[in-house]
Amino acid sequence: MNTSLLQERETPFYHYDLSLLQSTLDHLLAAARDLPNCHIHYAVKACATPAVLRTIAQAGLGADCVSGGEVRAAFAQGFPADKIVFAGVGKADWEIRLALEIGISCFNVESLPELENINAIAREMGKTARVAFRINPNVDAHTHAKITTGLNENKFGLAMDDMLPTIRHAWSLSHVEYVGLHFHIGSQITDMLPFVHLAERINTLQDQLEQAGITTASINVGGGLGVDYDHPDAHPIPDFEAYFDVFRRYLCLRPLQSLHFELGRSVVAQCGSLISRVLYVKQGHEKQFVIVDAGMTDLLRPALYGSRHQAVNLSAEGEKAEALYDIVGPICESSDVFLTDYRLPTTHRGDLIAFRTAGAYGEIMASQYNCRRLPGHLIEPADSNALAQ
């Protein structure tokens, strides 16, 4: 990061390094190169900053969307309609109409009422909607409870016992076409074993489908690959090779069947940082606080999940002395805390603090609570050292 250029910007804002993003995309595509009939979709919910979306679209990835707004944003930034898939438990009528009008590749359907509504809207529009059914495989991702999605108690998807009758019901509808199965067990998964269990569960379900005489054109295994929040410089690019190797070794695809992935966090997390400025250093009786101008309105994950983003004092180059601080924001909530008992070089008012690994679920989750303005963003292009809006 060019600290002198960052100093000129009003904080807080997000800084995106498109060189690192491009390198991540290169590694991702290389790791999946030998998987037959493989399609990778970027999970737009991780980050929808236009320059980030354009870079990913230009790399040839599709888009995994969970709202009509995401469908519109992905299409506007260059993702072809036939590479857009649309998931989500609560698709509104206008969102379904938008997706059908654009001509997306597939709806990932999560309930019988949703299926019937898609069919009715498609009939009104004179179209046929391609649908895959999201099946809840009851696989424990062993991740944070709030980002686990593949257990029976989660709101997502259809129960495995409902798979066959739902597919048969889809056959009876005039304006939907069954094309595949969709799965997603959770996020920030760093142990490959849950993905092994997912692949094995899919194999069992595929056997059941074949015994029932049902042909499935596509299998979508979702995403969920985690990143290293503790050591972003040591591991700037996730272990895509190990991730794809799980499905290469354990998933039994049928001839001509397409395989789909939906990766978000692992693509963009490390390329983004939240840049903030120190407002005050407050000496308490038991704690020393660094109070920054960024807060939970700008980066919600620490307050929502208890997550930790490594902090760097960009203004303290060469400073040898260190101290323990609680790094907190200005929001009128006790949960507005980034880090506790965190060691930084001696820090002063006006210093720039960067919160690392913030490219995923950072800017996209920002709010205007306390009537705050939304954070801006600064793009570092892949082909120059200049910074651009």
Going residue by residue through the chain, which has 389 residues, state the pLDDT in tens, using 9 for 90 and above: 767 778 889 999 999 999 999 999 999 999 999 998 999 999 999 999 999 999 999 999 999 999 999 999 999 999 999 999 999 999 999 999 999 999 999 999 999 999 999 999 999 999 999 999 999 988 865 554 544 544 555 667 899 999 999 999 999 999 999 999 999 999 999 999 999 999 999 999 999 999 999 999 999 999 999 999 999 999 999 999 999 999 999 999 999 999 999 999 999 999 999 999 999 999 989 999 999 999 999 999 999 999 999 999 999 988 889 999 999 999 999 999 999 999 999 999 999 999 999 999 999 999 999 999 999 999 999 875 545 55
Pair 165, 313 in one domain: no
- Bridge partner residues of 274 (DSSP): 14, 355
Q: With contact defined as beta carbons under 8 Å apart, do 296 and 312 qualify?
A: no
Contacts of 373 (CB under 8 A, 6+ apart): none
138 part of a folded domain: yes
Pair 130, 60 in one domain: yes
Residue 280 domain boundaries: 3-12+270-380
**Which of these three, 267, 289, 320, is where a domain ends?**
267
The domain total for the chain is: 2
- DSSP H helices, 36-162, are 50-58, 68-76, 93-102, 112-125
Pair 195, 227 in one domain: yes
Strand ranges in 110-196 using DSSP code E only, listed in sequence order:
129-136, 158-159, 176-182
387 part of a folded domain: no
Pair 125, 84 in one domain: yes
| Largest separation between any pair of C-alpha atoms in the chain | 72
Pair 227, 305 in one domain: no
Determine how many CB atoms are found less than 10 A away from the CB of residue 82. 12
Q: Model's pTM, two decimal places?
A: 0.94
Buried b (16+ CB within 10 A) or exposed e, 251-289: bebeeebbbbbbbbbbbbbbbbbbbbbbbebeeeeeeeb
How far apart are alpha carbons 36 and 256 in whole angstroms? Answer: 9
**Which of these three, 214, 246, 267, is where a domain ends?**
267
How far apart are alpha carbons 256 and 40 in whole angstroms? Answer: 17
